[in-house]
């Protein structure tokens, strides 16, 4: 299942990279990975619900505490839903420009 979820995420690599996607871990019924987005820094778990043939997404702290659970998602909703919870902030384009125009 983890490979299948990764194949779904790979359909939009620029968005996945914007999350700071890293350290994927295969779970019995899904995939967990770290993110470093504008809105959420922590972990995300994508879990397959075999009985419904749908997915659940958990937004987690680095300590694996559940912050939010989004249930009953179709595979083609995963990227958009995760992106909204992890990366999309008000004035996103301005935030990106400000972040990447900082001088070191």
What average pLDDT is seen over the chain?
Answer: 92
Q: How many domains does the chain have?
A: 1
Q: How far apart are CA 5 and CA 47, in angstroms?
A: 9
Instruction: Look at residue 103 in the predicted model and tell me its pLDDT.
Output: 59
Dist CA 46 CA 8 (whole Å)? 11
Look up the domain containing 41 and give its range: 2-100
Residue whose C-alpha is closest to residue 86's, from 19, 6, 8: 19
3-state secondary structure of 103: coil
In the structure encoding, which two tokens stand for residue 59, read together? 């937004």
pLDDT in tens, 20-47: 999 999 999 999 999 999 899 999 999 9
Starting at the edge strand found earlier in the chain, the sheet holding 66-73 runs 22-27, 30-36, 41-49, 54-60, 66-73
Please report which confidence band the pLDDT of residue 88 belongs to, taking 50, 70 and 90 as the band edges: confident
């Amino acid at each position: 299942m983890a490979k299948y979820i990764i194949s779904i995420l790979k359909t939009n690599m620029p968005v996945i990279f914007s999350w700071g996607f890293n350290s994927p871990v295969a779970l019995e019924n899904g995939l967990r990975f770290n993110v470093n987005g504008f809105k959420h820094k922590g972990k995300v778990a994508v879990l397959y619900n075999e009985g419904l043939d749908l997915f659940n997404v958990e937004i987690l702290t680095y300590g694996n505490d559940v912050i939010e659970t989004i249930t009953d998602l179709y595979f083609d909703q995963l990227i958009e839903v995760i992106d909204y919870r992890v990366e999309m902030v008000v004035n996103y384009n301005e935030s990106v420009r400000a972040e990447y125009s900082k001088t070191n």
